[in-house]
Amino acid sequence: MPDHLTQIPAADGLCPVHVLTPDADGPHATGPWPAVIYYMDGLGIRPTLVDMAQRLANAGYLVLLPDMFYRYGPYPPFVPAEVFKTGFREAVGPLMATTGNARSAQDTAAFLAWLGTNPDVKGSAVGTVGFCMGGGMAITAAGTYPDRVVAAASFHGGRLATDEPDSPHLLAPQIKAELLIAGADNDASYPPEMADRLVAALTEAGVTFKAEIYQGAAHGWMKPDFPVYDEAAAERGWSEMLALFARNLH
């Protein structure tokens, strides 16, 4: 697996980052490649995330997978099934408190700068994708760096349109990227009224986007190590995401 672990000086310290490129025996083995930043979910960096980032890389991208919990410090890999049994907030709440949309936007400046000097990266246009907590970060990156981020995808992202000052929907007027918003119909962090609020903001701002609720899917359906993983819905999500990036990054 062409997975290289490095550190990028981010807003508040050194951020561990996985850098993934296509398999050497695959159809996209030779770079440079367009770049995609992958914003993790609230359970942190673990093998499943690296595997998903590698799958994305194999489609022809250099994928940056940063540990957004770097401010917290080292932590052992979480096993989702165990975390959900014992209590999600109890296990990862202290780590999640160290990041958020505003802080991730600051960190993204460093990620973009690093990508801008990497000879393996093709062009300056970048894609972003985020899952759960990372969904809002991916959209926030698009609104904060509109001249760099040309495509952004959010899968089962929560709190995308709130009254908080760093709510992603407030950045709609600045977004130039094409967005993919994929929500679950069983997700307390993204209820119908929030989805409507986000869609209204994006529509008013003239953003090119597709927003859809995956019927029968629960929050976290894209993650193979989550108990709610839905393979059929996940493959549909992958198809949508790869098409988004193909339209905008190649």
Angstrom distance (rounded) from CA 71 to CA 10: 10
CB of 122 within 8 A of CB of 103? no
Which residues are bridge partners to 181 per DSSP?
A: 154, 211
Q: What is the per-residue pLDDT for 2?
A: 78
Q: What is the DSSP letter of 210?
A: E
Largest interatomic CA distance in the chain: 48
Q: Give the domain 3-35+47-249 fold.
A: Rossmann fold (3.40.50)
Question: Residue 196 and residue 199: Cα distance in Å, rounded?
Answer: 5
pLDDT at position 238 is 98
| Segments making up each domain of the chain, as ranges | 3-35+47-249
Residue 167 has a pLDDT of: 98
Looking at residue 54, its pLDDT comes to 98
pLDDT (0 to 100) of residue 250: 79
Report DSSP letters for 107-166, one per residue: HHHHHHHHHHT-TTEEEEEEEEEEETHHHHHHHHHHHH-TTTEEEEEEES---SS-SSTT
Determine the pLDDT at residue 149: 98
Blockwise average pLDDT, block size 10, the chain, 250 residues: 89 98 96 98 97 98 98 94 88 96 98 98 98 98 98 98 98 98 94 98 98 96 96 98 96
Give the integer Cα–Cα distance in Å for 148 and 59.
Answer: 20
